[in-house]
Chain A
């Protein structure tokens, strides 16, 4: 168990928790933020897995743009889950 794999495991736990939060949260904005966290963690994963290109893409697209899209959509519809 080196230093790296502990980080990886912690990240994995966070990732799964965030994913759960995406599903469970009643507040859509919180869910979207959680999904941004998922993207962020996967971006870190990509970096750890020696894929800087993908990490950069995921950071720019997954974390930033997709989240913004969701936010705009929520603004235009409704925030709470019925």
Chain B
């Protein structure tokens, strides 16, 4: 028995089995899902460095599955995070309706993502890609009534992306007669530049959609915010990484890394990569700005995800050893901290029933665990020491500086800085400040929800102090797959061409400083006074019942005013108007069916004569 089909079989079979058996009792469902996930996860884990290729012919297409170091890296991300989400949802979804559907689509999504990473040919890649799309679609529409618009938007955009990929992959097949990555990589440099460009564009349309590249990101905020919290975490944590994975596949696997020789290069970066990097940084900038003005916590996190994915995409676009390493590291990192944040916000929602930050506040005393998780999450997000975000950011800046990509570096820096704003907004409006009275009695979330959050927090700390295991795996993937010179590691010191950093030292110093300051603030300077919600200054305005003057309303008002111009031109609205226009155009077409039988008969005769005439001309 080959190991890869076994893993996929367990996963998909487990999903179906849990759905079917789950009809008996809800626990059976959860247990079956756990068993499936754990067994296949351990099987997967054991495949590090093993290349076990499985191939078969199905409906005349060759299908190849294998696990290589890159897929191992992504697979472990999927399994680990999937497990966390599953644990979390046992508590989160308890007593909710349609748990069967939830569990099923969660498992199918995880399984299909594993399928994507183990695929070594484009057809099975596409196959699992589509399964992932519909499985996640089922999740987006979980809250049926509100979710219709978001769901359809997600599905249709995904379909457009997927069909673009389909077109590209069959164009490749028509050219070289195979869909296997290896064969494509061997033949890629033989393609003409125009052909390559069209392939890249088509693939980027597909992957960019999932990786939420501007301007393909419009489905993200709606879909992320409307799906159940565990699934939002999965969406942002790993599902979006599939887009990143696809971009890596496109840029470094199926193209055989030949862009540098095929295209013009700028400062050592091939043109497609350079453009991709700009798209990435623009994504980061725009999304970050929009994130700042969001009031819905999940939407904020969604935009923040878009922004973070922008960095990752940029890093991959730059794509030498530092860039790739930082990209992959940031990807893992993003999975962890965005997972933490989504789960934590989900926990808040679980207890308070609202995602609106303006309705929350002062939860720090009621939900301390959650507060700490969010705190660690935003620290990682901001990329400041002592947590793992710092390492990724450091490598990213190093890569930019080393390539002397000044503008990119400046833009990245700007985006990172603006990101502080929404980080602060997130933690402040929810956990600090005054607490509305109705939340005075809420409790911390159940254990099953705390465990994954805490585990992820511990992981981000660990990676911050000691990123070398992860970097080893990344380096292994890079050397075996892309033939990129691995990034230099010496003991606990990271080296680039312009400098190095000893993570343990940096992290320890900053960590100790953090703890010290924390203690000082909580003991020596504890002079703050709790203020009631109603006890606020209204600056001359008479507070009426219609004006809710909670501090979190118009939180960054000056900033919002400043970026209003940007926000007005939404890509979403542009798509909507294009879609409406097209629909009206299509609607005209059906007027050909006039309803008069004689007209139809006339069509028949016209068609007949047309055939006669053209046939005679052609003979």
Question: Do A and B have CB atoms closer than 8 angstroms in the complex?
Answer: no
Interface residues of A (CB under 8 A from B): none
